[in-house]
Structure 1
Amino acid sequence: MSQAVFIHAARDARIAPFNLREGAPGETLLDVAAVGLCGSDLHYYKDGGIGAATITEPFVPGHEFSGWLTEDVPELGLERGRLVAVDPNHACGHCRHCLAGHPNLCPNVEFIGAPPNNGAMTDRIWVPKSLIVPVPVAFTPAEAVMLEPLGVAIHAVDLARPRLLERVAILGCGPIGLLILQVLKAVGASEIVVCDPLPHRRALALRLGASRAGASVEDIAGWTGGEGMPLVIEATNAPEGFRDAVRAAEIGGRVVLVGIPDGDTYTLPASEARRRGLSIKFSRRMGHVYPRAIELVAQGRVDVNAVVSHRLPLSDGPSAFARLADNEAGMVKCLLYPGDPAPSGSR
């Protein structure tokens, strides 16, 4: 019988036997190669839910994953044993949001790895063939996993619409913030300053090309003489993230909010945002961005491996949740492997 990581309630993750369900028409079975522990997974662990998506019974998280096909998929020209990525967003395809090209906003979505839908922190998983994303044969399981968070970063930068050589501030140097940093560099931003309270994350941001890295938004005020930055992208898990993004922005500036705050609540003095006349956008997941994500990785313009700090066996899943929740020094992005947590792409 398969094993899986189950989240039972806030701060309660356990390894337990998992009964794989029967496949449905249009689905194919994957042997899970690797699965990422995402910030939203961490919210389910820390808070027991995100907004209305609450844990009412134990469920298996994991929406960032790659896997090996257990059968040929002729519709996609793929053979058994091929490594693939998966888009976990199973949008309905017929609501007005889907028809307008915004499947990330579909209110009828069935999202893999969000309660009540079990995810990929296990050995095998059934997925709709329509969600399969073929990847280059040279890709490793980790690179295929990281296409999903990279897609989130691409979508955030699409919303931000940075101008050539524009100065940008990023709040939060977790995996999404670090990927946003690299995408901004790829599209021609000039000075990119970052803030994060954790020293190891600031150090990694500098290694990946940040111009400056500070511990708090006050550093941005100091660097800019109190004027702020024209574009601010917030990628924190802090309730103060919205407030700090406003304080980091110049008058007439733009703010894109990507992070999910702990407790599902922002704190914001309204006058600070209003008096700056800011343009504010909220980012939710991604649109059709996988082809660009694949190209950025294949061309070496985004180094997704640099963001992965830990590769652990699936059995270490509960401890990985606890370590990330406690902001253990050195931890940035953790991938779990049902088999050998090796970086190679071979099966």
Structure 2
Amino acid sequence: MHHALYLHGPYDARLAPYSLREGRPGETLLDVAAVGLCGSDLHYYKDGGIGAATIAAPFVPGHEFCGRLTCDEPELGLAQGALVAVDPNKACGHCEFCERGHPNLCPNVEFIGAPPFDGAMTEQIWVPKSQVVPLPDGFSPLDGVMLEPLGVAIHAVDLAKPRLCERVALIGCGPIGLLILQVLKVAGAGEVLAVDPQGHRQDLARELGAAAVGASVEDVRAWTRGEGCPLVIEATNAPEGFRDAVRAAKIGGRAVLVGIPDGDVYTLPAAEARRRGLKIKFARRMGEVYPRAIALVAQGKVDVAALVSHRVGLDEAAAAFGRHAQNTPGVVKTLIYPNAL
């Protein structure tokens, strides 16, 4: 009998028996090796949905995952037992946005781990072979899981287009923010001024290369003598994240918003953004970035393991959601190992 972690609604996560569906043409079956608890999973847990994507019936979250093939897949050049990552974004491939090269914006997407599509917080999962990402020898399940959030960070930095040695304000040092910090350094950005209210995340930002670390946007303004930074990247879950990104930005600057705010609402005094004449971009998921994510991990240019603060079995997954929702000190990233620790 399989088991899975189900989200029933706000603050209602339960472990229960899970009936594995039949496979479909073009799919392969994986034993789930590990799955990450993502900020968007947490929004489903706290708010019962993200925008129009709401929990209409209990569903299984988990879109950051990797697993082992349960059979040989000659067309993929992979043998039974091979560890693979999975791109959860199954875009339609034929809409206007897919044809323009933006599968992350596809309105017809089937996204593994977003309702109504069950995700990987269970022992086994069927996935499209087209979404399977082979991993290099030596990659661990942790490495495989972290490729998806690293891909989000790469996409955010692609949108930001940091200039060589340009000073950047980073608002939010959760897992995505800390990955963005590292990708910014690889991309040639200058000093990164990082902000987060939690001390343990400030410490991690400092260890991973931030030039200065503070608790609020007021620290950015103090460091820059009230001028702000030419580039700001926001990666928080706070309704005030947009406002803080604006307040950290220099007149004529750019801001990229990556975070999803609690309650799906931004709090923003309009005049501050308008009078700065800011260029604003919103990041959604990612494009075709897995090869670069794999290269960054394989070459040791991004430390993904530093972000993983907790590793639990499937029976502890509901408690892990609770810890993240309460902003428990010391929590950064939880990985769930459904089959074995």
| TM-score calculated relative to the size of structure 1 | 0.98
> What corresponds to 2:34 in structure 1?
34
1:191-270 correspondence runs (5 A): 191-270=191-270
In structure 2, distance between residues paired with 1:171 and 1:138: 33
In structure 1, distance between residues paired with 2:61 and 2:138: 27
In structure 2, distance between residues paired with 1:339 and 1:329: 27
Counterpart check, 1:125 vs 2:128? no
> What corresponds to 1:53 in structure 2?
53
In structure 1, distance between residues paired with 2:339 and 2:128: 23
> What corresponds to 1:83 in structure 2?
83
Question: Which secondary structure state, in structure 2, belongs to the residue aligned with residue 31 of structure 1?
Answer: strand
In structure 2, distance between residues paired with 1:126 and 1:76: 15
Per-residue deviation, residues 104-137 of structure 1 (Å, max 9, x unmatched)? 0000000000000000000000000000000102
1:1-347 correspondence runs (5 A): 1-341=1-341
Equivalent residue letter for 1:130: S
User: Where does structure 1 differ by over 3 angstroms across 4 or more consecutive aligned residues?
Assistant: none
In structure 2, distance between residues paired with 1:303 and 1:237: 23
Residue 326 of structure 1: how far off its partner (Å): 0.3
Per-residue deviation, residues 245-270 of structure 1 (Å, max 9, x unmatched)? 00000000000000000000001111
Equivalent residue letter for 1:76: L
In structure 2, distance between residues paired with 1:49 and 1:102: 24
In structure 1, distance between residues paired with 2:77 and 2:277: 51
Question: Which secondary structure state, in structure 2, belongs to the residue aligned with residue 146 of structure 1?
Answer: helix
Equivalent residue letter for 1:3: H
Residue 193 of structure 1: how far off its partner (Å): 0.7
In structure 2, distance between residues paired with 1:102 and 1:73: 28
Per-residue deviation, residues 265-312 of structure 1 (Å, max 9, x unmatched)? 001111100000000000001000000000000000000001111111
Residue 190 of structure 1: how far off its partner (Å): 1.4
In structure 1, distance between residues paired with 2:191 and 2:126: 44
Per-residue deviation, residues 198-223 of structure 1 (Å, max 9, x unmatched)? 00000000000101111000111111
In structure 1, distance between residues paired with 2:148 and 2:200: 23
Equivalent residue letter for 1:5: L
Residue 339 of structure 1: how far off its partner (Å): 2.5
Equivalent residue letter for 1:278: L
In structure 2, distance between residues paired with 1:293 and 1:135: 11
In structure 2, distance between residues paired with 1:52 and 1:8: 16
Structure 2 residues not aligned, in runs of 5+: none
Q: Report the identity percentage.
A: 73
In structure 1, distance between residues paired with 2:332 and 2:72: 35
In structure 2, distance between residues paired with 1:73 and 1:294: 21
Equivalent residue letter for 1:27: E
Equivalent residue letter for 2:130: S
In structure 1, distance between residues paired with 2:266 and 2:60: 28
Equivalent residue letter for 2:253: G
In structure 2, distance between residues paired with 1:337 and 1:250: 44
Question: Which secondary structure state, in structure 1, belongs to the residue aligned with residue 5 of structure 2?
Answer: strand
Residue 76 of structure 1: how far off its partner (Å): 1.3
Per-residue deviation, residues 11-44 of structure 1 (Å, max 9, x unmatched)? 0001000000000100000000000000000000
Residue 101 of structure 1: how far off its partner (Å): 0.7
In structure 1, distance between residues paired with 2:338 and 2:275: 52
In structure 2, distance between residues paired with 1:62 and 1:289: 19
Q: How many residues align?
A: 341
| TM-score calculated relative to the size of structure 2 | 0.99
Question: Which secondary structure state, in structure 1, belongs to the residue aligned with residue 119 of structure 2?
Answer: coil
In structure 2, distance between residues paired with 1:92 and 1:17: 31
Equivalent residue letter for 1:216: S
Per-residue deviation, residues 129-149 of structure 1 (Å, max 9, x unmatched)? 000000102100010000000
Residue 338 of structure 1: how far off its partner (Å): 1.1
In structure 1, distance between residues paired with 2:202 and 2:339: 32
